[in-house]
């Protein structure tokens, strides 16, 4: 394996990929964050750049009132006749949606809701005569229907894309070999066969990739011997939860599978700080079946740094807000990011928070912030229940670690109008029998050139296994009172 793994580090689950000529485009899930559904681009499968997002406007995704872990679930991106297509489920929101765009970076359409489809993880494919098929996992996510939260296996229906409706009652197709939560189906016409690649076993440690094939997109499907053909369950591999894969043929004829996985740490490797990330593995074909290489950990060398001085007229596409678009709470003006408080806190479903994905477990995030007109700071969050933060203003600096039923705080006095705040994630170190966590998180402030660590917190509580969130760590800035101005945001991370 010579490609970097993770391919897209940090909160980037449920990857789907399409090749258009020499270009590769990849989309992932975003759940309650906006803008939603990032689009990444590469020409060499090594360097990936986020070129935009699908959901950039209010109304494209109905996430404003969705519960945590609802929203944008599991896209499939495809290209046909000069048009990009993306299907996705807005869980507990609008339903199963179809977006289109002439350019992958957007703008994307407002999205058409499929009538007659109730499920998740939709896949879109066309047969040789142009008939469109939607194959999906039959977990009901519409609270108004009797199928709500019932799983009916994998389903399929012919669809009218223009009208946004199923042309038939969805029917059952092959649903794997007995693993729980069959999901993430992708259907491909390769040679004489239609291959159905699915996930089963649940998106946790039992996750895996199973395959079947048929001479028709509708089946019946023949099961591959030895399913699941790819899984990390029961192994000591550094990447676990491997599943939810999407096949792509490279321009040189080789094949790859992009999929999700996690990088757990601790003495028992129990805690995945960054959540589900995008990985890649090689694919060979033997006797008409795909053979997947086990997913290897090949992190990128060196230190990754980026700095946003907010001199561009618009925010970079990597910035996200929670359940609302960034422009509703923030303005880029005169080389700073202005945040306006609205009475909410990080404990609320809709905080005044703007963040980016944390991409490394060993990382330092720093901001310089003017709090002369308000109170705000720097935070890393999984959701409204699990977050660590450090805030300045009103004569003090307060560090806070919040998890359900417990809270820890520390504070120091400060009359400084401009302070530097820092959050550092580092390996626990020391005796391996004491390393029962993913990392240690430090909350610090730099005032008049002096760095003070206010709190050291156990990082395991900001992990996918503890928070049970589908997202990952998102680090950024927030406002609690008045308005604050962020001069710069600095990130430094390493997998070494």
Burial of 374 (0-12, 13-18, 19+ CB in 10 A): buried
pLDDT value of residue 496:
73
Under the banding of pLDDT at 50, 70 and 90, the label for residue 432 is low
Measured torsion, CA atoms of residues 383, 386, 389, 395, in degrees rounded to the nearest 10: 100
Under the banding of pLDDT at 50, 70 and 90, the label for residue 405 is very high
Cis peptide before 35 (omega within 30 of 0): yes
153: nearest Cα among 173, 133, 167: 173
For 210-276, give the secondary structure using H, E and C: EEEEECCCCCCCEECCCCCCEECCCCCCCCEEEEEEEEEECCCCCEEEEEEEECCECCCCCECCCCC
**Residues, the chain:** 496
Structural domains present in the chain: 16-292 (2.115.10.20), 303-494 (2.60.120.200)
- Say yes or no to pLDDT of 57 above 90: yes
| Residue 14 is a catalytic residue | yes
- pLDDT averaged over every residue in the chain: 96
pTM over 0.85: yes
Task: Outline where DSSP puts E strands in 293-439.
Answer: 303-308, 320-322, 330-333, 336-340, 353-357, 362-370, 374-381, 387-393, 396-403, 406-413, 418-426
Mean pLDDT of 40-47: 96
- State which H helix or E strand residue 386 sits in: none
Per-residue pLDDT of 294-313, as tens digits, reads 999 999 999 999 999 999 98
Based on C-alpha coordinates, what's the Rg of the chain? 23
What percentage of residues in the chain have a pLDDT greater than 70? 99
Q: Report whether 75 contacts 36 (CB < 8 A).
A: no
Mean pLDDT of 110-131: 97
Q: Which two tokens stand for residue 403?
A: 């998890």
- Say yes or no to pLDDT of 433 above 90: no
* Phi and psi angles of residue 469, each rounded to the nearest 5 degrees, phi first: -100, 150
pLDDT value of residue 65:
87
User: What's 107's DSSP letter?
Assistant: P
Task: Report the 10 Å Cβ neighbour count for 411.
Answer: 15
* Phi and psi angles of residue 81, each rounded to the nearest 5 degrees, phi first: 50, 45
- The single residue of 62, 90, 123, 183 carrying the catalytic annotation is 183
Rounded Cα distance, 84 and 79, in Å: 4
Q: Which two tokens stand for residue 316?
A: 């970079």
Mean pLDDT of 431-460: 90
Rounded Cα distance, 249 and 171, in Å: 29
Task: Classify the phi-psi angles of 373: left when phi > 0, otherwise alpha if psi is within -120 to 50, otherwise beta.
Answer: alpha
135: nearest Cα among 119, 111, 116: 119
Rounded Cα distance, 218 and 453, in Å: 60
* Phi and psi angles of residue 346, each rounded to the nearest 5 degrees, phi first: -65, -15
pLDDT value of residue 145:
85
Burial of 430 (0-12, 13-18, 19+ CB in 10 A): exposed
pLDDT value of residue 147:
87
* Phi and psi angles of residue 326, each rounded to the nearest 5 degrees, phi first: -55, -35
Per-residue pLDDT of 265-296, as tens digits, reads 998 889 999 999 999 999 999 999 999 999 99
Mean pLDDT of 341-354: 98
- Say yes or no to pLDDT of 334 above 90: no
Under the banding of pLDDT at 50, 70 and 90, the label for residue 474 is very high
3 state SS of 40 = strand
Rounded Cα distance, 333 and 337, in Å: 6
pLDDT value of residue 2:
82
User: What's 311's DSSP letter?
Assistant: -
141: nearest Cα among 128, 132, 133, 150: 150
Per-residue pLDDT of 91-118, as tens digits, reads 999 999 999 999 999 999 999 999 999 9
The tokens 């005796």 sit on which residue? 431
Under the banding of pLDDT at 50, 70 and 90, the label for residue 183 is very high
Burial of 114 (0-12, 13-18, 19+ CB in 10 A): buried
């Amino acid at each position: 394996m010579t490609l970097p793994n993770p391919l897209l580090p940090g909160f980037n689950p449920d990857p789907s990929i399409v090749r258009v000529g020499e270009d590769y485009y990849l989309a992932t899930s975003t759940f309650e964050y906006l803008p939603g559904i990032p689009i990444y681009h590469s020409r060499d499968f090594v360097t990936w750049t986020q070129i935009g997002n699908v959901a950039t406007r209010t109304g494209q995704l109905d996430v404003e009132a969705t519960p945590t872990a609802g929203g944008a679930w599991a896209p499939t991106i495809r290209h046909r006749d000069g048009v990009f297509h993306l299907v996705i489920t807005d869980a507990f929101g609008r339903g199963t949606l179809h977006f289109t765009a002439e350019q992958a970076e957007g703008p994307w359409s407002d999205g058409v809701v499929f009538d007659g489809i109730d499920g998740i993880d939709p896949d879109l494919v066309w047969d040789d005569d142009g008939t469109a098929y939607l194959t999906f996992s039959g977990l009901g996510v519409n609270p108004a229907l009797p199928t709500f939260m019932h799983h009916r296996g994998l389903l399929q229906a012919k669809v009218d894309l223009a009208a946004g409706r199923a042309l038939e009652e969805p029917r059952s197709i092959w649903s794997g070999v007995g693993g729980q939560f069959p999901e993430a189906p992708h259907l491909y016409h390769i040679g004489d066969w239609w291959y159905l690649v699915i996930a089963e076993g649940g998106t946790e440690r039992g996750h895996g990739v199973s395959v079947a094939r048929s001479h028709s997109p509708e089946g019946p499907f023949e099961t591959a011997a030895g399913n699941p053909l790819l899984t990390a369950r029961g192994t000591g591999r550094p990447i676990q939860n491997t599943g939810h894969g999407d096949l792509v043929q490279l321009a040189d004829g080789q094949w790859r599978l992009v999929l999700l996985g996690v990088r757990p740490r601790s003495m028992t490797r129990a805690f995945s700080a960054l959540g589900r990330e995008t990985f890649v593995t090689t694919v060979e074909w033997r006797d008409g079946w795909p053979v997947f290489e086990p997913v290897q950990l090949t992190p990128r060398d060196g230190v990754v740094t980026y700095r946003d001085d907010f001199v561009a007229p618009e925010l970079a596409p990597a910035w996200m807000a929670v359940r609302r678009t960034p422009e509703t709470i923030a303005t880029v003006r005169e080389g700073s990011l202005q945040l306006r408080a609205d009475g909410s806190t990080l404990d609320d479903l809709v905080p005044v928070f703007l963040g980016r994905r944390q991409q490394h477990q060993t990382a330092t995030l720093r901001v310089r912030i003017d709090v002369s007109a308000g109170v705000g700071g720097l935070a890393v969050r999984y959701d409204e229940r699990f977050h660590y933060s450090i805030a300045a203003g009103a004569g003090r600096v307060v560090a806070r670690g919040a998890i359900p039923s417990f809270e820890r705080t520390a504070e120091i006095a400060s009359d400084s109008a401009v302070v530097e705040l820092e959050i550092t994630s580092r390996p626990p170190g020391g005796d391996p029998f004491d390393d029962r966590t993913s990392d240690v998180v430090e909350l610090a402030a730099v005032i008049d050139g002096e760095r003070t660590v206010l709190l050291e917190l156990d990082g395991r509580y900001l992990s996918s296994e503890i928070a049970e969130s589908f997202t990952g760590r998102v680090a950024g800035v927030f406002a609690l009172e008045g308005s604050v101005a962020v001069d710069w945001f600095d990130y430094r991370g390493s997998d070494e």
